[in-house]
Chain A
Amino acid sequence: MATPPTGIRIRSYNVGFGDCFLLTFSYASGKPRNVLIDFGSTKQSGTGPSGGMKEIAEKIREDCGGKLEMLVATHRHADHISGFGGDTGKVIIGLEPEIVVQPWTEEPGLDPEASGPDGGGNGALHARAAVARLSAMQAMAAAALEQVPRLQRAPGVSKTVTEQVSFLGETNLANLDAVRNLASMGKKHVYAHFGTKLALGRILPGVQVDVLGPPTLEQSPAISHQTATDEEEFWHLAERHLATVGGTDGELFPGARKARQIPQEARWVIPRIDRMRGEELLAILRSLDGVLNNTSVILLFEVGERRLVFPGDAQLENWHYALRECDEAEAIRERLASACFYKVGHHGSLNATPKSLWNGFEHRDAKPEPGRLATMVSTAAGKHGSTARGTEVPRKVLIDELTKMSDLSNTQSLKSRSVFWNDVEIDF
């Protein structure tokens, strides 16, 4: 039996709105082992490192001693993987991770551009269709982003709506460079789903890592929201449309006569249509944002009886399979209950920390006693959702609860340009 680690340090870097966690396992003998979970940002922090993402990449290299044992890209949102592209990506490639873990939806064999089905029968075809839809959604995000200048010009569209369309559009853009780099990294690649066995004995001695999400389509069709509804047809058609046209430009009615002046009866209506347009784009982006979040890999690290939970941006639909639907749900809930560390899902949004999961954590405690649950959130307020609607990220009631019942580290409270990380240290 492998010698288990003696402790772990979890370091979250201030990437602004995004996630970047370095897990460093220390051992009684031998060198520490490092796991990087995500490295991305869509909005850098005003109080982050002056060298931006590049400085964070260099710091990761320093912190892991130039070597990663494992790299996890929980899902393909820019705020989780943008750092794997460009110059920062080169730094990470240099850390030569032994194993790279991504969700099953990133499997290259399921790429819509691949030449044919991978022989898995109907299941594989459905999976390919789901992955194709993810690509269509990202193309849709690009199209939405192209609309931003028009939204900015339209007096009926609020600044908040325009900003959120812009923010969500960028988050959901395809990060081709990062995706290519991720594919090129790692001696071994695992495209994980609920129940995937990660053989890490040699790489991370004494650490068991269970994959609790995402479920496959067979396990839970709800995961991609692609049940037999109009929604499916929507994305299906959207995919065909984008595959052919690839954008929203091009005159709709060549040669049609335009009004020289806006007619009086239209002046009352036009700002309202523009406003609806902005809200519609935002609603679509929110919907696809949720679908991509639900492809997040959920990992449960276990050293002896100590457990640490890293759910990426998984929302309720992703969590639902592990917590409720699968055969082992009860046993999983029991194991999760004893967790000593929880990485707060999806930057503290309202529907990524299932209340039943949170209420089940046994080490929640109103008093700061030793052994109290440690939690970490990487977030930036004012980018996502609205306080008036109770959808703000991070959700205030959740942050209040985390503050009250756990030792919470929040990247938002980091103010130093030189010490741009939070640490949680746990002895095993």
Chain B
Amino acid sequence: MAELRTRTMEVVAQDPGVLRDGRILTTSVKVPWEDLEPGPVGHRVCVVDYDSSTQTMYKPTLVGEDGGAPGRDEELMGDPGFHARNVYALVMRTLARFEYALGRRVNWGFRAHQLKVVPHAFEEMNAFYSPEDEALVFGYYRTPRGVSFTCLSHDVVVHETSHALLDGLRQRFMAPSSPDQAAFHEGFGDIVALLSVFSLGEVLLTLLSGGAGDGTPRGGLIARDRVTMDALMDSVLLGLAEQMGGDIGSPRAGALRRSVRIEPDEAILDRPEYEEAHARGEILVAAMMRTFVDVWTRRLDSLGTIEGGYLDLGRVAEEGATIAASLLTMAIRAIDYTPPIHIDFRDYLSALLTADGEIRSDDSRYGLREGLAKWFGRYGITPGSDTADGRWSAPEGPLRYDGVRFQSLQTEPIEMFSLLWANRKRLRIDPGAYTRVASLRPCVRISPDDGLPLRETVAECTQYVRLRADELGQFGLTPPEGMPPEQELTLEGGSTLILDEYGRLKFEIYNPLPRRRSPSGNARAQARLQYLWENGAMSAGASFAARLATLHRRRLGLDDRIARSEVW
């Protein structure tokens, strides 16, 4: 029954601060249909409406066939059941976006299948993903104008869901590695959240209609000078930040505002103020948001105007939503093309360009890849690959397939390992290291070029070497200053292998272990070692991933490296 494939649910479009005609802007979203238990509880999400601050368990809500359309604003704000349905819909929509982009089922970053979602967990201005509790928790806080619920902020819900999904795709990205990796989870979460919001035409329509003056949209038209890059940055990006920042809006308006205001600077990643994880993540967001607005503006240029310099407002919003949705798909799909360990922004750019190029060879309509390369470059993010187009390079020559059974390569990690082992020299596998195939994921993606499926298998291979600081020389590495010779260390490396439908290697995306007896060429590993040592990631009990809650509250202040050398 085709009509049961999706369920339409009503959600708050961004947050209760974003109004249209004086009312909270809501919109309909489609989520995969499933037979839900009260909660709602489905096969991937279990909403538990328990408030720890008041120790109250609200009655689990049912999702009717109407998808839970809200009534007046007071009902929307005052009905915990609507809040529960809102988070359910947004988490499921985000999951569906990931599964669509990646062409397969996507697991959470833990063993169980259902993510626990707690819409009113406690009275606090915070929301976070807790992997050890398999949960997303959302706080609420009181303001002079009422209670602000983080579970009603579209961007907050999607941001936190992205943490849970990225954790499922690349568990090692939550480990300490480099300033870029520390920033990546936050930056990626923000990108997915914002593009998710902007992929809703209703939101863009509202923001574009919000201005004043001569260019104010009238009768469904908008003046050309209101859709220039500067004008859209102002009306759409800063406009959203402004509305988000209202009394009962999203607490993260400031982050968006700052991202928009970061001026392009090719040396920005070397500036000390951008070493801190949040600030650095905002650079990634800045590059993506400028790409979005630039591509959108260029698309509108190609449309031409009607009625003396005016454009059709609905069309302008629709084009923006389409571009946001395309960039969102690209941003997610790229994760499959990143190395399994040690992500940096440059690798992410190459992953974006390669993943998209594989499935969508013709980029002429929107110029999305061109836009990404241009704007990332202006923030000093050049591709990690040294090819002319910035994509990962194809491997040289075929692999050896002695005794490897093609059929099992898609499903059996041990079969994949046998292929790796047979080609260990060629694939930079250190035979002495602890090695495992961390994941093996067959996927089917539909190419918009010809509508035909693109079948790939994505395998992550990770390697670990344990040694003491005084053995680092074997890998051409030098212990950082102050590291005792008996310090125990683990070096990590790994590769992502992309295989085509015949099991042939298409790409090998690697950050290998430093090579033994190769004193040169290990500069990245040396820099990483330095970073880990200076940031205390090697001391007992240290954990960067201790809790995203802490990261969300983390603040600037003293230079961490100075602080570390000063404490007892």
Binding site for B on A (CB under 8 A): 147, 150, 153-154, 222, 225, 227-231, 233-234, 237-238, 240-241, 243-245, 248, 251-259, 262-263, 265-266, 269-270, 272-274, 276-277, 280-281, 283-284, 287, 316-317, 320, 324, 350-351, 353-356, 388-390, 395, 397-398, 401
In the bound complex, residues from chain B placing their C-beta under 8 Å from that of A255 are 78
| B563 part of interface (Cβ distance < 8 Å) | yes
Cβ-closest chain B residue relative to A348: B568
| B274 part of interface (Cβ distance < 8 Å) | no
Query: A269 near B555 (CB under 8 angstroms)?
Result: no
- What separation, in Å, do the CA atoms of A316 and B79 have in the docked complex? 46
A265 and B566 in contact, given A222-B557, A283-B549 (Cβ under 8 angstroms): no
Q: A238-B141, A245-B142 are in contact. List 18 more A-B contacts (CB 8 A).
A: A229-B555, A233-B254, A234-B553, A243-B144, A244-B143, A244-B144, A252-B120, A257-B59, A263-B39, A265-B39, A266-B57, A270-B48, A273-B118, A276-B133, A283-B553, A284-B553, A356-B565, A389-B541
Question: Which of B517-568 touch A at CB < 8 Å?
Answer: 539-541, 549-550, 552-553, 555-558, 562-563, 565-568
Question: Which of B97-156 touch A at CB < 8 Å?
Answer: 116, 118, 120-126, 130, 133, 135, 137, 140-144, 147
**Residue from B54, B56, B137, B567 whose CB has the most chain A CB atoms within 10 Å:** B567
Query: B142 near A244 (CB under 8 angstroms)?
Result: yes
Within the complex, the shortest CB–CB distance from A258 to chain B, in Å, comes to 6
In the bound complex, residues from chain B placing their C-beta under 8 Å from that of A252 are 51, 54, 56, 80, 120, 140, 147
Within the complex, the shortest CB–CB distance from B282 to chain A, in Å, comes to 11
Query: B122 near A269 (CB under 8 angstroms)?
Result: no
Cβ-closest chain A residue relative to B57: A259
In the bound complex, residues from chain A placing their C-beta under 8 Å from that of B79 are 253, 256
Query: A398 near B142 (CB under 8 angstroms)?
Result: no
A253 and B58 in contact, given A266-B48, A351-B567 (Cβ under 8 angstroms): yes
Query: A395 near B557 (CB under 8 angstroms)?
Result: no
- What separation, in Å, do the CA atoms of A154 and B60 have in the docked complex? 21
| Pick from B46, B541, B566: contact of A351, CB under 8 Å | B566
Query: A276 near B121 (CB under 8 angstroms)?
Result: yes
Query: B58 near A258 (CB under 8 angstroms)?
Result: yes
Query: A355 near B52 (CB under 8 angstroms)?
Result: no
How many A-B contacts are there with CB distance less than 8 Å?
180
In the bound complex, residues from chain B placing their C-beta under 8 Å from that of A273 are 48, 50, 52, 118, 121-122, 133, 135, 137
| B387 part of interface (Cβ distance < 8 Å) | no
Cβ-closest chain A residue relative to B145: A244
A266 and B50 in contact, given A240-B144, A350-B568, A388-B541 (Cβ under 8 angstroms): yes
Query: A351 near B278 (CB under 8 angstroms)?
Result: no
Within the complex, the shortest CB–CB distance from A428 to chain B, in Å, comes to 31
Within the complex, the shortest CB–CB distance from B247 to chain A, in Å, comes to 8
Query: B48 near A265 (CB under 8 angstroms)?
Result: yes
In the bound complex, residues from chain A placing their C-beta under 8 Å from that of B142 are 241, 244-245
In the bound complex, residues from chain B placing their C-beta under 8 Å from that of A270 are 48, 50, 52, 57
- What separation, in Å, do the CA atoms of A244 and B126 have in the docked complex? 20
- What separation, in Å, do the CA atoms of A240 and B126 have in the docked complex? 16
* Top 7 closest pairs, chain A to chain B, by CB: A277-B52, A231-B555, A257-B59, A398-B568, A259-B57, A244-B144, A354-B566
A240 and B541 in contact, given A234-B553, A265-B48, A276-B130 (Cβ under 8 angstroms): no
A355 and B57 in contact, given A230-B254, A269-B135 (Cβ under 8 angstroms): no
In the bound complex, residues from chain A placing their C-beta under 8 Å from that of B147 are 252
Query: B140 near A355 (CB under 8 angstroms)?
Result: no
| Pick from B126, B135, B255: contact of A280, CB under 8 Å | B126
Query: B58 near A259 (CB under 8 angstroms)?
Result: yes
Query: B143 near A274 (CB under 8 angstroms)?
Result: no
- What separation, in Å, do the CA atoms of A279 and B13 have in the docked complex? 32
Cβ-closest chain A residue relative to B549: A280
Within the complex, the shortest CB–CB distance from B552 to chain A, in Å, comes to 7
Give 28 CB contacts A-B under 8 Å: A147-B53, A150-B52, A150-B54, A230-B254, A230-B555, A237-B125, A237-B143, A240-B143, A243-B144, A244-B143, A256-B59, A263-B57, A265-B39, A272-B133, A273-B48, A273-B121, A276-B122, A277-B52, A277-B121, A280-B122, A284-B553, A316-B563, A350-B567, A351-B563, A355-B567, A390-B540, A397-B568, A398-B568
Question: Which of B236-257 touch A at CB < 8 Å?
Answer: 247, 251-252, 254-255
- What separation, in Å, do the CA atoms of A398 and B57 have in the docked complex? 46
Query: A316 near B252 (CB under 8 angstroms)?
Result: no
| Pick from A227, A241, A253: contact of B557, CB under 8 Å | A227
In the bound complex, residues from chain B placing their C-beta under 8 Å from that of A256 are 58-59, 78-81
Query: B144 near A234 (CB under 8 angstroms)?
Result: no
In the bound complex, residues from chain B placing their C-beta under 8 Å from that of A262 are 57
Within the complex, the shortest CB–CB distance from A241 to chain B, in Å, comes to 5
- What separation, in Å, do the CA atoms of A251 and B541 have in the docked complex? 40
Chain B 434-458 per-residue mask, 1 if CB under 8 angstroms from chain A, else 0: 0000000000000000000000000
In the bound complex, residues from chain B placing their C-beta under 8 Å from that of A281 are 124
Query: B141 near A225 (CB under 8 angstroms)?
Result: no
| B330 part of interface (Cβ distance < 8 Å) | no
| Pick from B52, B80, B541: contact of A253, CB under 8 Å | B80
| Pick from B125, B130, B135, B558: contact of A316, CB under 8 Å | B558
- What separation, in Å, do the CA atoms of A225 and B48 have in the docked complex? 35
- What separation, in Å, do the CA atoms of A229 and B141 have in the docked complex? 19
Query: B80 near A259 (CB under 8 angstroms)?
Result: no
